[in-house]
Chain A
Amino acid sequence: QVQLQESGPGLVKPSQTLSLTCTVSGGSISSGSYYWSWIRQPAGKGLEWIGRIYTSGSTNYNPSLKSRVTISVDTSKNQFSLKLSSVTAADTAVYYCARVGRLTTGYYFDYWGQGTLVTVSS
């Protein structure tokens, strides 16, 4: 059973960089059948796709966040990470990591982390 767990600071100051890591267990992040993705959800609002990474390191980001987002992967640790720069209060949200399928595995989010709340405040 694949499990994902987000970790990182729960409080970030405005204008600083938000950094989160997702640790994958029960499966290899190097599996060629999946992408690895970040999604966020402000309180009381809907889900927003942030971006994804493939084991090769190739990435794709939400155009609305692209200038501030970097997703990276560390296959040796079976982890992938999110960095979001120049944060404001609007970036306060629960951040989820998730596994997402590719062509042979349905292009859908099948395993999710439990989510971690990140608050942007001074």
Chain B
Amino acid sequence: QTVVTQEPSFSVSPGGTVTLTCGLSSGSVSTSYYPSWYQQTPGQAPRTLIYSTNTRSSGVPDRFSGSILGNKAALTITGAQADDESDYYCVLYMGSGSWVFGGGTKLTVL
């Protein structure tokens, strides 16, 4: 079965820039996988940040951006703020109306 890989944890300083990645256990991530990114804080439902690789969801600050970097999808946070400390999940569309979630990245801002 396909495994979507994410860094388990990452740390960034306030005001800094961090790039989280989303890869495949076998193969490369391309725009054809329609990568999307979600932010989740404890006890809350996920919030959509980015879809179709690089489109920001309504109301999402422009310090969040999505891209393909090499063979992975990437979420970049520029000018990190304290309330960006969350879990971040990527999701890849596998075709035929099926999806696979990555394991998530716990981002610490300190």
Contact = CB atoms under 8 A, between A and B. Distances in A.
Nearest to A4: B45
A106 B45 contact: no
Contacts, number: 67
Interface in A71-122: 96, 100-102, 106-110, 112-115
Interface string A36-70: 01010000001111001010001010111000000
Given A96-B45, A114-B45, A109 B91 contact: yes
Given A46-B101, A47-B104, A110 B57 contact: yes
Contacts of B46: 47, 96, 109, 112
B48 to A, nearest CB: 6
A89 to B, nearest CB: 21
Interface of A: 35, 37, 39, 46-49, 52, 54, 58, 60, 62-64, 96, 100-102, 106-110, 112-115
9 contacts: A46-B103, A47-B40, A47-B46, A52-B98, A106-B51, A109-B36, A109-B91, A112-B45, A115-B45
